[in-house]
Amino acid sequence: MHPLALLLWPIGEIYKCIAAFRIKSAKPPRVNVPVVCIGNTTAGGTGKTPIVQDVVQRLRAMGRAPHIILRGYGGRTKITTRVDTAVHDAQDVGDEALLHAALAPTWVGVDRHASAAVAIAAGADIILMDDGLQNTSIAPSVRWLVVDAARGIGNGYGIPAGPLRESFSHALRCADAVIVVGQGGFAPQTEKPILRLTIGTDENSLTALQGKQIYAFAGIGQPEKLRAGLQAAGLDVVGARAFPDHHVYSAGEIDALHRRGKLLGARLVTTQKDFVRLPENLRAGIMPVDVKVSWEDEIQLNQLLRQVVHAAP
């Protein structure tokens, strides 16, 4: 174990205890439509964004009118606001919100209950909450806990000694189902329904990259997944650079990436999540690639979604 993690362990334990007490003692209000919270216990990416988007499209195919609510991490907007991709940018509402708003009505704000109430007034008959298992402003009808099979819960310590925002065992007890992403050794011990899926690069978005050399860059929770996904699709990745999650790119950084790509004779490629964080004047010459969610058992997923549709608020 890293010495710094051991040194910070007491702070991490206090953090987890405070989170558990806050969650257990809270009595958040409900709203009059089902609210599905898709979240995790760890800081950093587990794949919630594409999962939420996939579920939204499935609910719409069932004839429902889902709206998405989220905090809008990385954005400066605090009060409940409907995301407008023609008006807002990532510095206003965060990158996930911009991606969601291209699929369904999306609301950002600190108070999730207020966001849900406004969404319902605007026609939502089901609410999807992207992240928020630790949020106490609204009571979800259904909680889906997302876990990365390869990463698991890291060292098991709380922030700042480790990645946990709350005790995993507590989150697991409260969850209605567990979503396990990817392949790896982490297997939650639970009798709750377990949904397994993989998140990979959408091959339909790679046609223009066949036969070309690629320089990849990403500022997401696990940036190495972009390179791995491109290589798994048979593409020639000659280099890659990782940035912190939700990184706000400067013109100088993008210029340096272009110089590096030119030196290597490679095309610059990034994720959709990174691309929406780029100001429009910095997007030229950079290709975003889409991701694809593949569920292991769609029958089980559809059964759970039907339960969600008929869940009591």
pLDDT the model gives residue 313: 73
Distance of CA 299 to the CA centre of its chain: 23
pLDDT the model gives residue 21: 77
Q: What is the mean pLDDT of residues 81-107?
A: 96
Give 226 or 311, the one with higher predicted confidence. Answer: 226
User: What sign does the dihedral 127-48-5-174 (CA atoms) show?
Assistant: positive
Q: Write out pLDDT tens, residues 40-77.
A: 999 877 889 999 999 999 999 999 999 999 999 889 99
What confidence category does residue 37 fall into, taking pLDDT thresholds of 50, 70 and 90? very high
Q: Write out pLDDT tens, residues 237-268.
A: 999 999 999 899 999 999 999 999 999 999 99
Domain 3-199+294-309 sits in CATH at 3.40.50.300
Q: Do domains 3-199+294-309 and 203-289 have the same CATH topology?
A: yes
Residue 1: is its pLDDT beyond 60? no
pTM score of the predicted model: 0.92
Q: Write out pLDDT tens, residues 231-240.
A: 988 999 999 9
Half-sphere exposure of 187 (CA within 13 A, CB side): 3
Residues 6 or more apart whose CB falls under 8 angstroms from that of 194 comprise 177, 178, 179, 180, 188
Dihedral of the alpha carbons of 245, 251, 253, 259, in degrees to the nearest 10 = 140
Q: Write out pLDDT tens, residues 205-242.
A: 888 899 999 999 999 988 998 999 899 889 999 999 99
Domain 203-289 sits in CATH at 3.40.50
Give 179 or 20, the one with higher predicted confidence. Answer: 179
Parse the chain into domains and list their residue ranges.
Answer: 3-199+294-309, 203-289
Q: Write out pLDDT tens, residues 139-197.
A: 999 999 999 998 899 888 899 989 999 999 999 999 999 999 998 888 888 999 999 99
CA distances from 292 to 115, 143, 199, 204, 275 (A): 28, 23, 6, 10, 17
